[in-house]
Amino acid sequence: MARKMIRVLLVEDEEIHRVMARAAVKAAAGAEDDDVLDVAENGAAAVRRVREVAPYDLILMDRQMPVMDGHEATRRIRAMGVTTPIVAVSSDGLPADVEAFIGAGADHFTPKVSQATRQCRPCDACMRHGQQYMIDLCK
């Protein structure tokens, strides 16, 4: 039985990183052509989308964004009771950055550079998690 499509929310304000992330999600293990990639250009838009749109299977969250940053958006999404896996993405990758994201409720952290390759393990893990989640829903 074919699995249902996976919905991914990409939270990123810069076009170049959105293009890269689309390629990374597409290249991730388990990704299929019908999977949906929605975009929010800042943390506040992300919180609204999570609240208003059908549940996502994976959220890719940038850190530095206008209006609301990734840490705050992650905190607010978790405060809504949403358990969707969140992969934090940042150019810096400093230990304090990673800690802040995980402390806010993110499940994984990946530097932007490794995100946009075929070896993005957090993307692979989350796409497989999303796939398993959908398989469980089909039972």
d(CA 58, CA 6): 8
Q: Tokens representing 132?
A: 């398993």
Kindly determine how many residues on this chain lie close enough to bind another protein according to the rule CB under 8 A: 18
For residues 34 to 73, the per-residue mask of contacts with another protein, x marking binding by CB under 8 A and - elsewhere, is ------------------------------x---------
Residue 135 beta carbon to another protein: minimum distance, rounded to whole angstroms? 25
Among 27, 37, 44, 102, binds another protein (CB under 8 A): 27
Amino acid letter, 44: A
3-state helix, strand, coil in the chain (%, to 5): 45, 15, 35
Closer residue to another protein, CB minimum distance, 23 or 102: 23
Residue 42, C-beta contacts closer than 8 angstroms, at least 6 positions apart:
11, 13, 65, 66, 67, 68, 73
Residue 76 beta carbon to another protein: minimum distance, rounded to whole angstroms? 22
User: Which residues inside 79-118 make contact with another protein, applying CB under 8 A?
Assistant: 91-92, 112-113, 116-118
Q: CB burial class (10 A; 0-12, 13-18, 19+) of residue 99?
A: exposed
Interacting residues with another protein (CB under 8 A): 14-17, 19-20, 23-24, 26-27, 64, 91-92, 112-113, 116-118
